[in-house]
């Protein structure tokens, strides 16, 4: 029944139903379109929310903390009002903020020293008012940590202001390394300046070449020797030190050191300010930090002009001395450090019977010993090899003059003196003292005979030398004066001998006066005899004789 009713209504007004159907279809289409738009908007909002979360998490994951002043949209609201402050989690951790992400900018500033806090507030004020960016480093209060602050303004593509952000980065480790490196660099610079000034104040010229023989370093003395006003001029112009022939000796020696890979040196001459100087040049190759790819060579010049002049003068003096020695009757010879004969006079060749050819060959000391042994002029020794070895050994051990006697097979006795020679080696002097020894022997024999004669006299005898010391006494004196022989053999003085006689003058009240009178009379050159009265009324006669050598002889006899 309802179906029929509907069909009747449709047929009664079909246009109306067509219109209602169109409206319904339109509504359905609009609803579908809205559903699609809603889903698209929901999807877009989802991705925007995800992107915002990603960006937020990216900022949170950053090693830098930040504090942001977020402004509202200036097309909707006045950006100077309703400013939002936002503190990042990382910043709260870096500064140790108690309120975490809810901390205000005032809480942030409290973590810095007062003066630094004022400076930061000024930076932020200029950023917020005029958009002036800044970057600076500050130390956190009550810690030894440093942070770098960087303030920037973030604008949209249309020029609208989004926010002002201050980034905080903990640079304590970096700052510590920088400070450490700065301090180390300061010390290195100080060492460099000390070494440079030390090098410049040395009295020797110093330089260095690289493997290509380029001059890479020199000191002030080098510049002076090279004729330059400064070290920089010498390095820039690559000026080398030249000898009197114009050869660049500094570069030549560097090349030689590189070629031989060892130290080298030479003696040369240069002209400085019109004066010729004798110099020694030394060159030494080396590697920087033991790196074989960085070979260098360092050289120096030592002024030996005074030493050279002294050596020439010394040589002249030595030649003059040798000429004088050559004219003396004493036999002289000089054997150098290699034991070869350098010089001898005619008396030396005559003494040892050496011919001119042997002398001209500059034989060594060992050959000299062999030659003189063959001529039977050396002392007879049981082991000639050991004797020869000891004789040659003196060239390496002698430090002061040595003197000994050589008793030759022909009956002669030589006094030999050996002394170190100034230029190395040994100088020998030989003196024939055979006659002198014979005279001395005869003299000593005569003294012995005279002593025996005096010792056999009944009279007591004393002999004092020119120095006032007792030189002789006989047995008769010991008996007459009951003298102490041990005292007399020590060569006492005249006064000490008189004092030893006091025990035989006990009856004398004033001994000092008597001793003085005895001494004055005996020492008086006009006194010939003197009479003394001892204990028990003994009388002694003293005969005084002043000898030709200024000695004094006293003869005591009882009367």
The lowest-confidence range among 75-89, 155-169, 243-257, 308-322 is 308-322
The band of 166, judged by pLDDT with boundaries at 50, 70 and 90, is very high
Token digits for 435? Answer: 């006659």
The answer to whether residues 290 and 234 belong to one domain is yes
The answer to the question of residue 531 being in a domain is yes
Q: Among 379, 408, 437, identify where a domain stops.
A: 437
pLDDT at 189 > cutoff 90: no
Report pLDDT for 3: 59
Percent of the chain whose pLDDT exceeds 70: 83
Bridge partner residues of 541 (DSSP): 531, 557
Distance separating alpha carbons of residues 15 and 22, to the nearest angstrom: 11
Report pLDDT for 454: 65
Q: Which of these, 93, 98, 84, lies nearest to 62 by C-alpha position?
A: 93
Q: Where are the beta strands (DSSP E) in 242-368?
A: 264-272, 275-287, 295-303, 331-335, 341-344
The answer to whether residues 247 and 301 belong to one domain is yes
Distance separating alpha carbons of residues 441 and 283, to the nearest angstrom: 66
The band of 193, judged by pLDDT with boundaries at 50, 70 and 90, is confident
pLDDT digits (tens, 9 = 90+) for 464-492: 888 889 888 888 888 888 888 888 888 89
Residue 152 phi, psi dihedral angles, 5° rounding: -140, 155
The band of 101, judged by pLDDT with boundaries at 50, 70 and 90, is confident
Distance separating alpha carbons of residues 210 and 197, to the nearest angstrom: 22
pLDDT at 216 > cutoff 80: yes
The answer to the question of residue 367 being in a domain is yes
pLDDT digits (tens, 9 = 90+) for 440-460: 665 566 556 566 666 666 788
The answer to whether residues 156 and 87 belong to one domain is yes
Q: Among 274, 309, 344, identify where a domain stops.
A: 309
The answer to whether residues 165 and 221 belong to one domain is no
Distance separating alpha carbons of residues 319 and 333, to the nearest angstrom: 13
172 neighbors 144 (Cβ within 8 angstroms): yes
pLDDT digits (tens, 9 = 90+) for 532-554: 887 767 788 888 888 777 788 88
513 neighbors 529 (Cβ within 8 angstroms): no
Number of domains composing the chain: 4
The answer to whether residues 255 and 284 belong to one domain is yes
The answer to the question of residue 464 being in a domain is yes
Average pLDDT of the chain to the nearest whole number: 80
The answer to whether residues 387 and 413 belong to one domain is yes
Report pLDDT for 316: 57
Distance separating alpha carbons of residues 425 and 340, to the nearest angstrom: 9
Q: What is the CA radius of gyration of the chain?
A: 60
Q: Parallel, antiparallel, or unpaired for β 413-420 and 426-432?
A: antiparallel
* 420 Cβ contact partners less than 8 Å away, ≥ 6 residues apart: 398, 399, 400, 426, 427
The answer to whether residues 295 and 332 belong to one domain is no
Q: If phi over 0 gives left and psi between -120 and 50 gives alpha, with beta otherwise, what is residue 430?
A: beta
The answer to the question of residue 468 being in a domain is yes
The angle that helices 14-61 and 2-12 make with each other, rounded to 10 degrees, is 100
Residue 120: which domain range?
A: 59-170
The band of 524, judged by pLDDT with boundaries at 50, 70 and 90, is confident
Mean per-residue pLDDT, 126-153: 89
Neighbours of 149 (CB within 10 A): 21
The answer to whether residues 99 and 125 belong to one domain is yes
Report pLDDT for 44: 73
Report pLDDT for 121: 92
Bridge partner residues of 432 (DSSP): 414
The answer to the question of residue 356 being in a domain is yes
* 407 Cβ contact partners less than 8 Å away, ≥ 6 residues apart: 379, 413
Helix (H, G, I), strand (E, B) or coil at 535: helix
The band of 321, judged by pLDDT with boundaries at 50, 70 and 90, is low
The answer to the question of residue 44 being in a domain is no
The answer to the question of residue 358 being in a domain is yes
The answer to the question of residue 156 being in a domain is yes
Residue 413 phi, psi dihedral angles, 5° rounding: -120, 125
The answer to whether residues 431 and 347 belong to one domain is yes
The answer to whether residues 426 and 455 belong to one domain is no
Percent of the chain whose pLDDT exceeds 90: 8
Q: How far is CA 148 from the centre of its chain?
A: 46
Q: How far are the Cα atoms of 370, 470, 472, 486 from residue 490, in angstroms, in the given order?
A: 49, 8, 11, 7
Which CATH number fits the domain that encloses residue 535? Answer: 3.30.450.20
pLDDT digits (tens, 9 = 90+) for 328-352: 557 888 898 889 988 888 888 888 8
pLDDT at 79 > cutoff 60: no
Residue predicted with more confidence, 371 or 559: 371
The answer to whether residues 212 and 135 belong to one domain is no
The answer to whether residues 289 and 218 belong to one domain is yes
DSSP string, 63-116: SSEEEEEEPPPTTTS-TTSS-EEEE-HHHHHHHT-TTGGG--HHHHHTTB-HHH
109 neighbors 119 (Cβ within 8 angstroms): no
Mean per-residue pLDDT, 13-25: 73
Q: Among 405, 437, 469, identify where a domain stops.
A: 437
Burial of 91 per CB tally in 10 Å (0-12, 13-18, 19+): buried
């Amino acid at each position: 029944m309802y179906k029929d009713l509907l069909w009747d209504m449709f047929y009664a007004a079909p246009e109306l139903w067509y219109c209602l159907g169109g409206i319904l279809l339109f509504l359905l289409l609009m609803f579908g379109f809205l559903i699609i738009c809603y889903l698209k908007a929901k999807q877009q909002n989802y991705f925007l929310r995800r992107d915002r979360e990603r960006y937020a998490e990216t900022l949170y994951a950053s090693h830098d903390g930040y504090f942001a002043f977020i402004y509202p949209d200036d097309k909707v609201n006045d950006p100077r009002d309703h400013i939002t402050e936002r503190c990042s989690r990382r910043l709260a951790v870096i500064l140790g903020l108690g309120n975490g992400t809810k901390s205000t900018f005032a809480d942030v500033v409290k973590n810095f020293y007062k003066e630094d806090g004022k400076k930061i507030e000024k930076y932020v004020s200029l950023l917020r008012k005029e958009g002036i960016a800044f970057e600076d480093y500050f130390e956190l209060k009550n810690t030894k940590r440093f942070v770098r602050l960087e303030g920037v303004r973030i604008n949209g593509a249309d020029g609208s202001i989004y926010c002002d952000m201050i980034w905080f980065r903990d640079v304590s480790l970096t700052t510590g390394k920088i400070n450490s490196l700065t301090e180390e660099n300061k010390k290195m610079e100080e060492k460099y300046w000390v070494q440079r000034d030390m090098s410049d104040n040395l009295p020797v010229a110093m330089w260095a070449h690289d493997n290509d023989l380029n001059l890479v370093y020199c000191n002030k003395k080098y510049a002076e020797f090279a004729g330059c006003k400064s070290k920089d001029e010498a390095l820039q112009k690559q000026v080398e030190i030249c000898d009197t022939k114009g050869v660049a000796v500094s570069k030549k020696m560097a090349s030689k050191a590189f070629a031989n890979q060892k130290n080298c040196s030479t003696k040369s001459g240069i002209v400085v300010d019109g004066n010729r100087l004798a110099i020694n040049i030394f060159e030494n190759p080396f590697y920087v930090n033991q790196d074989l790819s960085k070979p260098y060579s360092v050289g120096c010049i030592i002024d030996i002009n005074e030493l050279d002049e002294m050596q020439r003068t010394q040589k002249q003096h030595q030649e003059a001395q040798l000429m004088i020695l050559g004219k003396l009757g004493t036999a002289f010879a000089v054997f150098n450090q290699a034991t070869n004969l350098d010089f001898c006079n005619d008396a030396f060749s005559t003494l040892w019977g050496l011919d001119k050819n042997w002398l001209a060959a500059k034989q060594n000391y060992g050959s000299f010993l062999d030659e003189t042994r063959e001529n039977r002029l050396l002392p007879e020794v049981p082991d000639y090899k050991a004797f020869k070895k000891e004789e040659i050994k003196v060239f390496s051990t002698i430090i002061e003059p040595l003197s000994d006697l050589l008793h030759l097979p022909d009956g002669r006795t030589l006094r030999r003196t050996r002394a170190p020679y100034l230029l190395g080696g040994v100088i020998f002097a030989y003196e024939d003292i055979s006659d002198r020894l014979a005279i001395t022997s005869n003299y000593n024999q005569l003294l012995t005979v005279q002593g025996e004669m005096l010792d056999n006299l009944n009279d007591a005898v004393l002999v004092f030398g020119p120095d006032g010391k007792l030189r002789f006494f006989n047995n008769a004196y010991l008996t007459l004066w009951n003298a102490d022989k041990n005292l007399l053999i020590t060569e006492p003085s005249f006064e000490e001998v008189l004092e030893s006689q006091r025990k035989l003058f006990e009856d004398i009240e004033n001994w000092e006066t008597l001793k003085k009178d005895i001494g004055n009379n005996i020492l008086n050159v006009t006194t010939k005899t003197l009479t003394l009265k001892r204990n028990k009324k003994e009388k002694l006669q003293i005969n005084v004789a002043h000898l030709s050598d200024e000695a004094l002889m006293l003869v005591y006899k009882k009367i």
